[in-house]
């Protein structure tokens, strides 16, 4: 308000001065670069994705309009249906494990422990390092002949014969789930830790004088107060896991026999390896309903706060 | 006395052991990356040796990586793209974040909502049409395709981080400055920005990390060896057909991981505080 009153009193020196003194104009000026980039490189490609998915475009040819042809074809395709199933298994399992282990890890990190910052840093590392490079290390750790994971498990007697980590459909899915959990756990744990630190200590002290057990304290105080953070983190992770690409691409490339094929890797193979761009775009767009659900839930959740 | 000992035992079983298990799980792949890159091939592929230790440490794998591949070029590409994109995103993010935190104008809420939604959009949803947009702009197969596209997911992130920081700074100071004749922009640059430095550093650093690690766009838009970034070059250029040179792969992965790990160890405190602030406000 002060600024506006000030501007009215003085004769405007130039249009620049008037521009910078007007709140609305300044606002539009400040957001315009971001708006421009987002329109050209996000909104336009999205509309283009919808358009391309309605055509039978292949690499090098524009293709013709076939309405929902690609979507109908995909829904009848057993490989695509397997991809849908795999994506759900991958997302539900990893998000569940990341949430469960994340809560446990956050509770541990919230204790009085020596070298606290060092340990927190170590825990965060899988999330910081380039995923493509750390997943390469996992690929080497799961190597059919030289797997160090088998070496250790055999060594301590947990298994009696080698596990075919990436060579078997079931174990390949287990492998990608382990690696995704490994990579995503730090984000869950640190976010939950931040949530834990905001819970007032007095609540626990009061509970202790009432003689409440540790588990009941967790169930009646910690969990309800942590719930908003858990909800937001789970929603974030759900959409990013559903749309994940690089872990599967590097570790199994969707194999063996498509056992780990998920939306993004299939879209890449169909559009950019096989060159069927229309069909590939349609596969990518199957991620959109999931995104929409997450957006709606997230907005509803944030509005409640 | 016995009670005290029981408590210690309880802590070891209930806290230290599980925590040690988590730390091992988190760090083992890096340990394996490290020792694999300092072993010569005979030791690396010797199943009878103690595989969890190095008998004869050697720099052979690193020498081979530098001699046989364009790794210096890839490192430079990664640095160039990450530095430039985090700078651009930071600048635009500061502008947009300040506007949303302080100024009232029609459409501000819609824009805020749009940035938030954009932040959730996965890159794999639009990478196929974006490849054709990049081509139309004449940028395919050039690192400029990444400089242009990375800000689309970095700006929303920076904007949201900074809104929270800007809002925590009292309004009075910039109002005083403006009464003293400072323009709105002047107040923003001279008063608000210096006070938001922790947020700015965190956002810039995190943008750098996100760019350095980005995979999908870099894989899709760039096919020439010399224009690739580390995250894509190592898995695509060092694996030749079915032959995996694990020593070289691990050495190159280590080289590609160290810059972000270092960056983040220097700014660890900013990082944790920024992350926790973001998690609470997000």
First to last CA, chain B: 47
Give the tokens for residue A231: 């909800």
Q: Is A226 exposed, middle or buried (0-12, 13-18, 19+ CB in 10 A)?
A: buried
Its sign, for the CA torsion A231, A233, A235, A237, is negative
- The reply to whether residue B246 touches residue A140, judged by beta carbons under 8 angstroms, is yes
- The reply to whether residue A195 touches residue B22, judged by beta carbons under 8 angstroms, is no
The per-residue pLDDT for A2 is 44
**H/E/C letters for each residue in chain B?**
CHHHHHHHHHHHHHHHHHHHHHHHHHHHHHHHHHHHHCCCHHHHCCCCCCCCCCCCCCCHHHHHHHHHCCHHHHHHHHHHHHHHHHHHHHHHHHHHHHHHHHCCCCCHHHHHHHHHHHHHCCHHHHHHHHHHHHHHCCCCCCCHHHHHHCHHHHHHHHHHHHHHHHHCCCHHHHHHHHHCCCCHHHHHHHHHHHHCHHHHHHHHHHHHHHHHHCCHHHHHHCCCHHHCCHHHHHHHHCEECCEECHHHHHHHHHHHHHHHHHHHHHCHHHHHHHHHHHHHHC
- The reply to whether residue B32 touches residue A17, judged by beta carbons under 8 angstroms, is no
Q: Is B254 exposed, middle or buried (0-12, 13-18, 19+ CB in 10 A)?
A: buried
The per-residue pLDDT for A267 is 96
- B125 contacts in A (CB within 8 Å)? 46, 49, 243, 284-285, 287-288, 291
| pLDDT mean over A73-98 | 96
- The reply to whether residue B179 touches residue A295, judged by beta carbons under 8 angstroms, is no
| pLDDT mean over A296-300 | 90
Report whether B91 contacts B272 (CB < 8 A): no
The per-residue pLDDT for A3 is 46
Asked if residue A113 belongs to a domain, the reply is: yes
Asked if residue A203 belongs to a domain, the reply is: yes
Say yes or no to pLDDT of A128 above 70: yes
Distance CA(B168)–CA(B161), nearest Å, equals 12
The per-residue pLDDT for A180 is 98
Number of domains observed in the structure of chain A: 2
- Predicted TM-score (pTM) of the model is 0.91
Give the tokens for residue B122: 């996965």
Report whether A133 contacts B256 (CB < 8 A): yes
Co-location of A16 and A144 in the same domain: no
- Minimum Cα–Cα distance from A102: chain B residue: B22
Domains for chain B: give ranges and CATH numbers.
2-61 (no CATH), 69-281 (1.10.3720.10)
Co-location of A40 and A125 in the same domain: no
Cβ pairs A/B, distance under 8 A: 278
Alpha carbon of B124: minimum distance to chain A alpha carbons (Å): 6
Q: Per residue of chain B (282 residues), what is the pLDDT tens digit?
A: 677 888 888 888 888 999 999 999 999 999 999 999 999 999 999 888 888 999 889 999 999 999 999 999 999 999 999 999 999 999 999 999 999 988 888 888 899 899 888 888 999 999 999 999 999 999 999 999 999 999 999 999 999 888 888 888 888 878 888 888 778 788 888 888 888 888 898 889 889 999 999 999 999 999 999 999 999 999 999 987 777 899 999 999 999 999 999 888 877 666 666 655 554 444
* A6 — pLDDT class (breaks 50, 70, 90): very low
Asked if residue A157 belongs to a domain, the reply is: yes
Say yes or no to pLDDT of A13 above 60: no
Residues of chain A above pLDDT 90, percent: 67
Distance CA(A134)–CA(B184), nearest Å, equals 46
Q: Choosing among B279, B280, B281, B282, which should be mutated to test the A contact, i.e. which has the most A CBs within 10 A? A: B279
* A23 — pLDDT class (breaks 50, 70, 90): confident
- The reply to whether residue A3 touches residue B250, judged by beta carbons under 8 angstroms, is no
Co-location of A40 and A115 in the same domain: no
Distance CA(B119)–CA(B107), nearest Å, equals 18
Co-location of A40 and A144 in the same domain: no
Give the tokens for residue B241: 């057909």
- The reply to whether residue A31 touches residue B100, judged by beta carbons under 8 angstroms, is yes
- The reply to whether residue B235 touches residue A17, judged by beta carbons under 8 angstroms, is no
Complex ipTM value:
0.92
Residues of chain A above pLDDT 70, percent: 92
- B261 contacts in A (CB within 8 Å)? 125, 128-129
Alpha carbon of B158: minimum distance to chain A alpha carbons (Å): 11
* A92 — pLDDT class (breaks 50, 70, 90): very high
Chain A from 37 to 56: CB within 8 A of any B CB: 37-38, 40-42, 44-46, 48-49, 52
Give the tokens for residue B120: 């959730």
Distance CA(B103)–CA(A28), nearest Å, equals 10
Asked if residue A256 belongs to a domain, the reply is: yes
State the angle between helix axes of A131-141 and B230-237 in degrees (0 to 180), rounded to the nearest 10.
Answer: 30
The per-residue pLDDT for B282 is 40
The per-residue pLDDT for A20 is 57
Of the candidates B105, B120, B155, the beta carbon closest to that of A24 is on B105
* A84 — pLDDT class (breaks 50, 70, 90): very high
Its sign, for the CA torsion A16, A22, A25, A27, is positive
Give the best-scoring range by mean pLDDT among A34-38, A84-88, A227-231: A84-88
Of the candidates A20, A151, A244, the beta carbon closest to that of B184 is on A20
Q: Is A292 on the interface with B (CB under 8 A)?
A: no
Co-location of A101 and A45 in the same domain: no
Co-location of A44 and A157 in the same domain: no
- Residue B77 makes CB contacts below 8 A (sequence gap 6+) with B143, B227, B228, B229, B230
Co-location of A141 and A281 in the same domain: yes
Q: Calculate ∠ Cα B58-B59-B64, nearest 5°.
A: 130
Pairing type for strands B239-240 and B243-244 reads: antiparallel
| pLDDT mean over A208-233 | 84
Asked if residue A67 belongs to a domain, the reply is: no
Co-location of A160 and A235 in the same domain: yes
Asked if residue A64 belongs to a domain, the reply is: no
Distance CA(B59)–CA(B39), nearest Å, equals 8
Co-location of A36 and A165 in the same domain: no
Co-location of A101 and A244 in the same domain: yes
Asked if residue A126 belongs to a domain, the reply is: yes
Co-location of A185 and A275 in the same domain: yes
- Residue A61 makes CB contacts below 8 A (sequence gap 6+) with none
Report whether A221 contacts A203 (CB < 8 A): yes
- The reply to whether residue B275 touches residue A190, judged by beta carbons under 8 angstroms, is yes
Asked if residue A9 belongs to a domain, the reply is: yes
Alpha carbon of B62: minimum distance to chain A alpha carbons (Å): 16
The per-residue pLDDT for B154 is 95
Q: Choosing among A61, A136, A248, which should be mutated to test the B contact, i.e. which has the most B CBs within 10 A? A: A136
Q: Is A86 on the interface with B (CB under 8 A)?
A: no
- The reply to whether residue A128 touches residue B264, judged by beta carbons under 8 angstroms, is yes
Q: Which of B279, B249, B164, B155 is nearest to B210 (CA)?
A: B155
The per-residue pLDDT for B65 is 94
- Minimum Cα–Cα distance from B282: chain A residue: A232
Co-location of A288 and A196 in the same domain: yes
- The reply to whether residue A140 touches residue B244, judged by beta carbons under 8 angstroms, is yes
The per-residue pLDDT for B270 is 67
Domain of residue A177, residue span: 78-304
């Amino acid at each position: 308000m002060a600024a506006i009153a000030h501007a009215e009193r003085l004769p405007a020196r130039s249009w620049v001065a008037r521009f910078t003194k007007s709140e609305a104009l300044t606002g539009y000026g400040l957001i315009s670069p971001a708006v421009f980039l987002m329109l050209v490189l996000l909104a336009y490609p999205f509309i283009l994705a919808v358009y391309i998915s309605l055509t039978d475009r292949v690499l090098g040819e524009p293709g013709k309009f076939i309405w929902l042809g690609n979507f109908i074809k995909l829904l009848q395709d057993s490989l695509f249906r397997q991809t849908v199933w795999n994506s759900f298994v991958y997302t539900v399992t990893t998000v569940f494990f990341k949430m469960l282990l994340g809560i446990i890890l956050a509770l541990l990190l919230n204790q009085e422990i020596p070298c606290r910052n060092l340990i927190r840093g170590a825990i965060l590392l899988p999330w910081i390092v380039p995923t493509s490079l750390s997943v390469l290390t996992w690929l080497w750790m799961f190597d059919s002949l030289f797997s160090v994971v088998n070496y250790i498990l055999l060594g301590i007697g947990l298994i009696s014969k080698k596990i075919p980590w990436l060579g078997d459909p079931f174990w390949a899915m287990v492998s990608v789930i382990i690696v995704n959990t490994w990579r995503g756990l730090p984000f869950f744990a640190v976010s939950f830790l931040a949530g834990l630190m905001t819970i007032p200590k007095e609540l626990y002290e009061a509970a202790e004088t009432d003689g409440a057990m540790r588990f009941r304290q967790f169930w009646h105080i910690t969990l309800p107060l942590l719930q908003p953070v858990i909800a937001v983190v789970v929603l974030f992770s759900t959409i990013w896991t559903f749309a994940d690409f690089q872990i599967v691409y590097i570790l199994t490339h969707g194999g063996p026999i498509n056992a780990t094929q998920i939306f993004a890797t299939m879209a890449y193979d169909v559009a950019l390896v096989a060159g069927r761009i229309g069909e590939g775009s349609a596969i990518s767009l199957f991620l959109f309903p999931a995104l929409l659900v997450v957006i709606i839930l997230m907005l509803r959740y944030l509005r409640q706060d | 006395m016995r009670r005290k000992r029981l408590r210690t035992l309880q802590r070891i079983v209930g806290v230290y052991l599980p925590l040690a298990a988590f730390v091992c799980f988190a760090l083992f792949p890096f340990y394996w990356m490290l020792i694999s890159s300092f072993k010569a091939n005979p030791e690396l592929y010797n199943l009878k040796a103690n595989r969890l230790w190095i008998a004869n440490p050697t720099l052979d794998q690193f020498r081979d990586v530098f001699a046989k591949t364009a790794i210096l070029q890839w490192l430079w590409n990664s640095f160039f793209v990450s530095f430039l994109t985090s700078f651009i995103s930071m600048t635009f993010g500061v502008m947009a974040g300040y506007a949303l935190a302080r100024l009232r104008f029609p459409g501000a809420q819609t824009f805020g909502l749009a940035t938030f939604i954009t932040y959730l959009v996965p890159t794999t949803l639009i990478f196929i049409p974006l490849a054709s947009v990049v081509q139309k702009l004449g940028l395919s197969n050039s690192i400029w395709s990444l400089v242009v596209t990375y800000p689309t997911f970095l700006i929303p992130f920076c904007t949201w981080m900074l809104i929270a920081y800007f809002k925590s700074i009292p309004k009075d100071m910039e109002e005083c400055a403006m009464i003293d004749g400072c323009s709105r922009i002047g107040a923003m640059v001279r008063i608000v920005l210096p006070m938001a430095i922790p947020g700015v550093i965190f956002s810039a650093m995190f943008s750098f990390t996100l760019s350095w690690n980005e995979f999908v766009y870099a894989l899709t838009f760039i096919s020439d060896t010399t224009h690739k970034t580390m995250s894509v070059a190592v898995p695509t250029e060092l694996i030749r057909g079915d032959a995996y040179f694990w020593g070289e792969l691990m050495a190159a992965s280590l080289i590609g991981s160290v810059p972000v790990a270092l960056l983040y160890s220097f700014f660890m405190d900013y990082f944790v505080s920024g992350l926790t602030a973001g998690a609470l406000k997000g």
